[in-house]
Amino acid sequence: MGQEARPNWDNPVQFVLACVSYAVGLGNVWRFPYLCQMHGGGGFLIPYLIMLVLEGIPLFYLELAIGQKMSLGSIGAWTAISPYLGGVGLASVVTSLYLCLYYNIINAWSFWYLFHSFQSVLPWAECPLNSNQTGPIEECDKATPTQYFFYRETLNISPSIEENGGIHTGQAMCLLLAWILTYLFIVKGIKSTGKVVYFTAIFPYVVLFIYLIRGFTLHGALNGVVYMFTPKLEQLANPTTWINAATQIFFSLGLGFGTLIAFASYNEYHNNFERQAIIVSIINCGTSIFASIVTFSIYGFKATVNYENCLERTRVLLLNTFDLAEDSINMDNVFEWIEKLNTTYPVQFAEIANKLEGCNLESELDTAVEGTGLAFIVYSEAIKNMPVSQLWSVLYFFMLLLLGMGSMLGNVTAIITPLRDFKFTSNISDELLNGIVCVFCLLLGLGFTTTSGNYWFVMFNDYGANFSLLFVVLIEVIAVSYIYGIKRFEKDIEDMLGHRPNWYWKIMWAGVSPLLLVTLFIVYIVNYIQGGTPTYQAWNKELGKSEVMEYPVYGQVFIGLLMVSSVGCVPLTALYVYCKKRKHGNHHTRQRTVNTVST
Amino acid sequence: MLGQIFVLLCLSSAWAQQLCMPEASDGYKVRLSINTALGDQAYVWNENEMFLFRATLAFAMRSYSGGQDYNVSNIVVCAETPRVSFWFVVTAPLNSSRLIDRSDVEEAVRKSRNRINSAFLLTDRSLEFIGIPPILTAPVTPDTPQWLIVFGVVMGAVGAGIVVLLVTSVVEKKRKKNKKSGDEDIEEEPREKTEGNGFARDGVYNMSFSDDDPVTQM
């Protein structure tokens, strides 16, 4: 037997769990709750579920079908559909490469926080003292201890993207560990990945469930859940709501990276991926909603704690200024007393008026945060107020780690599978190829551990994947529906599954999804142009808070490069194949004439 | 005679009261938050507690000054409020019209702060001397940061896992190679006999014709 058979998943459950592990990632935990909060609470579920049906599931099905039919990675699969479309696969690989570079940094941060949770007092619970030991460090005093721990001790962030320092050794070590762990999981290709996904897919649900129970028993949690979930249906009239729902479904399912094609390429030819596609998509959405219930209960707890602390500080201020007995003011009548004292002692009251913070529970609940800010600052602030905070901290960051690692497995597989399909890598063993890819990504990723690394991370996060993915998936769906042909595609699916896809799928692939994608694409471009110079949030050490700054010129050029380098693969590859075909065409006609002459 | 003594006492206490006033230059304001600190176990602030305070402060002055005879009468208190806050000044043991300097009082309080706190079952935050900041204790930092220990453990485990996997795969490959070279010796002979009838070795395994079930159940 000449060539080794392509490795397969041990059973279909491994494939489903791998897809779940990949799709259910950090975005479900930190992006969806934010969108839910910004766009009308419970009402956001309506556009979200509609978009799931209109574009999420059909596109997911499409990618699985392509992967399973061609049994090749993204580059090989698209070349098989049409030689001019090999660039689509290449664009997917480049985007996955960018994602791999910066995504493991988040895992490094999760490791850092996880390791720092094994202390009697969590390091982000209190401010460290300054060198004179007279008080807390100024930066920490102006901000909060959790922000200080994230920006100063974890990142050691510089004031702007232009100023750079050295590499943060702790971060670099955690990144090294993250890549070594990733290598351990993928070292034998899907033989090892298939075993790991049992854990990375299931354990986060265990933690989420534990947190759900913990969250609901926290003081003030119900405030958060009720406030967030009460639907504000007027938000549905806002087109941004629908755009954000569509974009969130799109990115949450991980379409366009080539991972789904890669995973499906290891399936048995007759695997029933139609049912699996629906199941994975529904699990992904269900997880988003589940995670946002947990997040909102944590929000409610944090907001209530902050509100009550604010009331307490006001109460103490009033007691101390007016020397009233301690039990005269309690939490319930603080506001009445403010009024009373204002009228009876207006002069003295005016003196402390500027120290009085307005305590408002709703404004505390309204602070919406997403992304790394939510995961590492807001959540750790809530955790430090819980009893036995070390245990909750360990559980939470371990869950973040598993979610991130599960997605990383998919990302790295999306790069390695197409590479494996090329002839020149068939001599290199699995382990060596995987090792080379991991080392390469590690070395480049070290750039994100420098003092300005977080700003580059945000740039990659915001611009590295979004535009290219929209473009890639748009080309994908148009290529399959119109270039390859729906009829041919139908026949392939019938060959694999035994029945043709029904009219719903065909309408989505040929009509609705491309229209939606074109709309999203245009809206993205319009927003980008109208947004003016791209900006980012820089951490100001003196003020102890973030401020908006514009990217310098080389930053903007780099953003352009990021977007063009992956999208440009498509036309460039088409051009290259066209030129090669023309050269071969000329060569063939020359050969034919020689033969006829010799006979 | 009795009247004179009475007048003298009144005068002296009035004189002492004049020494102590709010915002006195050599005095300090004290604020107690008993209810907040002790909750149900809170005691009521009364004359006896005030006496204890004056006695404790006299003790602090004695410890600081190395044995000078400070008495309860040397600690003068005024401006008591329902908050439980008041001002106090310290007079010299021999000359009750001379006030002890602010800085000396501060040092004395600082030195015996712990004893003063424990006399009242309070802490630095619930028994405040306005103007005397508490000495903050820096948290104990061990020599090796604790996170490095956990990091080392995890890194070691992961590294060991990789080494084990790589070694087993290398061993398996060697075993397969040995087995293959053993098989090849046996296969060589029939192939030489049947010329040109061998199967094409550079074909690709075609999955469509595999014997699997038509539709794989989940």
Predicted model pTM: 0.84
Residue B50 contacts by C-beta under 8 Å, 6 or more apart in sequence? Answer: B77, B80
The reported pLDDT for the residue numbered B215 is 58
- The partner residue sitting opposite B212, judged by closest CB among A119, A268, A431, is A268
| Residue A475's pLDDT band (cuts 50, 70, 90) | very high
| Residue B195's pLDDT band (cuts 50, 70, 90) | very low
Mutate one of B40, B43, B150 to test the A interface: name it (highest A CB count within 10 A): B150
Residue B38 contacts by C-beta under 8 Å, 6 or more apart in sequence? Answer: B121, B122
User: What does the DSSP 8-state code read for residue A189?
Assistant: T
**Is the Cβ pair B215, A323 closer than 8 Å?**
no
The reported pLDDT for the residue numbered A78 is 92
User: Which of A230-239, B29-38, B191-200 has the weakest average pLDDT?
Assistant: B191-200
Closest-CA residue to A99 (of A164, A177, A182, A180): A182
Over pLDDT 70: what percentage of chain B?
72
The reported pLDDT for the residue numbered A472 is 92
* B196 has pLDDT over 60: no
Residue pair A435/A76 in contact by the 8 Å Cβ criterion? no
| Residue B138's pLDDT band (cuts 50, 70, 90) | low
A173 close to B (CB below 8 A): yes
**Is the Cβ pair A134, B136 closer than 8 Å?**
yes
Which tens digits make up the pLDDT trace of A163-179?
888 899 999 999 999 99
Which tens digits make up the pLDDT trace of A27-39?
888 889 888 888 8
* A533 has pLDDT over 90: no
Mean pLDDT, residues A261-277: 92
Q: Nearest C-alpha of chain B: how many angstroms from A556?
A: 37
Beta-carbon count within 10 A of A365 CB = 23
Q: Which residues of chain A have a CB within 8 Å of the CB of B202?
A: 2-3
Residue pair A89/A419 in contact by the 8 Å Cβ criterion? no
Decide which of A209 and B17 is more confident. Answer: A209
User: Which of A338-342, A440-444, A469-473 has the weakest average pLDDT?
Assistant: A338-342
| Residue B194's pLDDT band (cuts 50, 70, 90) | very low
* Cα–Cα distance, A472 to A90 (Å, whole number): 10
Backbone phi and psi for residue A583, each to the nearest 5 degrees, phi listed first: -65, -45
* Cα–Cα distance, A183 to A176 (Å, whole number): 11
Buried b or exposed e, range A95-132, using 16+ CB within 10 angstroms: bbbbbbbbbbbbbbbbbbbbbbbebeebbbbebbbbee
Half-sphere exposure of A280 (CA within 13 A, CB side): 35
ipTM: 0.79
Closest-CA residue to A320 (of A284, A348, A340): A348
Q: Nearest C-alpha of chain B: how many angstroms from A427?
A: 14
Closest-CA residue to A484 (of A90, A96, A69): A69
User: Which of A248-257, A394-403, A405-414, B130-139 has the weakest average pLDDT?
Assistant: B130-139
Residue A184 contacts by C-beta under 8 Å, 6 or more apart in sequence? Answer: A192, B158, B161, B162, B165
Kind and range of the H or E run holding A579: helix A569-598
| Residue A514's pLDDT band (cuts 50, 70, 90) | very high
Residue pair A370/A34 in contact by the 8 Å Cβ criterion? yes
Instruction: Give start and end residues of each alpha helix (H) in A117-229.
Output: 138-142, 145-148, 169-186, 190-216, 221-229
Residue pair A68/A496 in contact by the 8 Å Cβ criterion? yes
Q: Which residue has the tokens 């993205």?
A: A524
Mean pLDDT, residues B190-207: 48
* A438 has pLDDT over 60: yes
| A 424-483 residues with CB < 8 A to B | 429, 431
Decide which of B80 and B200 is more confident. Answer: B80
- The partner residue sitting opposite A116, judged by closest CB among B35, B147, B212, is B147
**Is the Cβ pair A272, B217 closer than 8 Å?**
yes
Is A24 marked as binding a ligand? yes
A325 close to B (CB below 8 A): yes
* A403 has pLDDT over 70: yes
Question: CA-CA-CA-CA torsion for A157, A158, A160, A163, nearest 10 degrees?
Answer: -140
Mean pLDDT, residues A107-115: 94
* B218 has pLDDT over 70: no
Which tens digits make up the pLDDT trace of A6-19?
889 999 999 999 99
Mean pLDDT, residues A357-362: 83
* A106 has pLDDT over 90: yes
Backbone phi and psi for residue A538, each to the nearest 5 degrees, phi listed first: -105, 145
- The partner residue sitting opposite B218, judged by closest CB among A114, A177, A275, is A275
The reported pLDDT for the residue numbered A3 is 45
* A365 has pLDDT over 60: yes
* A282 has pLDDT over 50: yes
- How many Å is the Cα radius of gyration of chain B? 44
The reported pLDDT for the residue numbered A467 is 87
* B102 has pLDDT over 80: yes
Decide which of B192 and A453 is more confident. Answer: A453
Give the mean pLDDT of chain A: 88
- DSSP-derived 3-state class of residue A452: coil
* B197 has pLDDT over 60: no
| Residue B193's pLDDT band (cuts 50, 70, 90) | very low
**Is the Cβ pair A326, B36 closer than 8 Å?**
yes
Residue B38 carries which side chain, given as an amino acid letter?
A: L
The reported pLDDT for the residue numbered B11 is 63
* Cα–Cα distance, A596 to A594 (Å, whole number): 6
Mean pLDDT, residues A229-238: 85
Which tens digits make up the pLDDT trace of B37-74?
888 888 888 889 899 999 998 998 888 888 788 888 88
Which tens digits make up the pLDDT trace of B72-88?
888 888 888 888 888 88
Q: Nearest C-alpha of chain A: how many angstroms from B6?
A: 34
Beta-carbon count within 10 A of A135 CB = 13
The reported pLDDT for the residue numbered A40 is 82
Q: Nearest C-alpha of chain A: how many angstroms from B151?
A: 6
For chain B, domain boundaries: 9-130, 146-217
In a 10 Å sphere around its CB, with 0-12 CB exposed, 13-18 middle and 19+ buried, how is residue B119 labelled?
A: middle
A271 close to B (CB below 8 A): yes
Is A117 marked as binding a ligand? no
**Is the Cβ pair A495, B208 closer than 8 Å?**
yes
Mean pLDDT, residues A132-159: 86
* Cα–Cα distance, A394 to A116 (Å, whole number): 9
Decide which of A348 and B112 is more confident. Answer: B112
